[in-house]
Structure 1
Amino acid sequence: MSIINYALKGKKVLVTGATGFIGGRLAERLAREEGAIVTGTGRNLDAVPHVVEAGVTLVKADLLDEEATRAAMQGQEVVFHVAAWLGRHGGEQQAYALNVAATALAVRLAAEAGVKRFVQTSSIASYGHPPKVLHVKEDTPLDTEQEVIYGRTKALGEIRAFELGKELGIEVTAVRPGLVYGPRAQSWTINMIKLVGKGMPVIFGDGEGHAYPVFIDNLVDGMLLTAVRPEAVGQAYNMCDPVVTFNEWFGFYGEMCGKKPRRIPFWAAHILIVLNQILNLDLPLNRPRLRMYGLKAEFPPAKAQEQLGFVSRVSIEEGMKITEAWLRDEGYLP
Structure 2
Amino acid sequence: MALEGRKIVVTGVTGQVAEPVAKLLARDNDVHGAARFTDDDARARLEAAGVTCVRVDLATGDVADLPADADYVLNFAVAKSGEWDADLDANAGGVLWLMEHHRAARAFLHCSSTAVYQPDGHRAFRETDPLGDNHRVWSFLETYSICKIAAEGAARWGAARHGLPTTIARLSVPYGDHGGWPAIHLEMMLAGAPVEVHRDAPSVYHPIHEQDIVASLPGLLAAAATPATTVNWGGSEAVSIEDWCAHLGELTGVKPRFEATDATIASVALDLARMHEVTGVTRVHWKDGMRRMVEALHPELLTA
Scaled to the shorter chain, the TM-score interval is: 0.7 to 0.9
Counterpart for residue 240 of structure 2: 245
Residue 124 of structure 2 aligns with an amino acid whose one-letter code is H
- Give the C-alpha shift of residue 232 in structure 1: 9.0
Residue 135 (str. 1) matches residue 124 (str. 2): yes
Counterpart for residue 103 of structure 1: 95
Tell me if structure 2 keeps the 8 A contact 1:193–1:257.
Answer: no
Question: Residues 29-63 of structure 1, C-alpha deviation per residue, up to 9 Å, x if partnerless?
Answer: 2122xx11111112135325443233211112222
Segments of structure 1 that go 5 or more residues without pairing to the other structure are 271-286
- Give the C-alpha shift of residue 233 in structure 1: 6.8
- Give the C-alpha shift of residue 236 in structure 1: 1.3
Which residue, 78, 87, 90 being the options, matches 1:84?
Answer: 78
Tell me if structure 1 keeps the 8 A contact 2:11–2:76.
Answer: yes
Q: How many residues align?
A: 294
Residue 47 (str. 1) matches residue 37 (str. 2): no
Counterpart for residue 109 of structure 2: 119
Residue 310 of structure 1 aligns with an amino acid whose one-letter code is G
Q: Which has the higher helix share?
A: 1
State which drifts further: 138-147 or 22-31. 138-147
Counterpart for residue 71 of structure 1: 65
- Give the C-alpha shift of residue 65 in structure 1: 4.3
Question: Residues 275-308 of structure 1, C-alpha deviation per residue, up to 9 Å, x if partnerless?
Answer: xxxxxxxxxxxx242xx1xx4x4212210211x2
Residues 1:321 and 1:232: Cα distance change in structure 2 (over 3 Å) = farther
Counterpart for residue 300 of structure 1: 271
Tell me if structure 2 keeps the 8 A contact 1:254–1:260.
Answer: yes
Q: Describe the SS at the equivalent of 2:130.
A: coil
Tell me if structure 1 keeps the 8 A contact 2:194–2:258.
Answer: yes
Counterpart for residue 274 of structure 1: none
Give the alignment's Cα RMSD to 1 decimal: 2.6
- Give the C-alpha shift of residue 230 in structure 1: 5.8
- Equivalent positions of 1:164-175 (< 5 A) are 164-175=158-169
Question: Residues 2-37 of structure 1, C-alpha deviation per residue, up to 9 Å, x if partnerless?
Answer: xx4xx33221110011111111111112122xx111
| Alignment TM-score, normalising by the size of structure 1 | 0.79
Counterpart for residue 183 of structure 2: 190
Residues 1:145 and 1:64: Cα distance change in structure 2 (over 3 Å) = same
Q: Describe the SS at the equivalent of 1:300.
A: coil
Residues 1:9 and 1:333: Cα distance change in structure 2 (over 3 Å) = same
Counterpart for residue 316 of structure 1: 286
Tell me if structure 1 keeps the 8 A contact 2:95–2:155.
Answer: yes
Counterpart for residue 250 of structure 2: 255
Which residue, 193, 196, 207 being the options, matches 1:200?
Answer: 193
2-structure distance, mates of 1:206, 1:188: 19
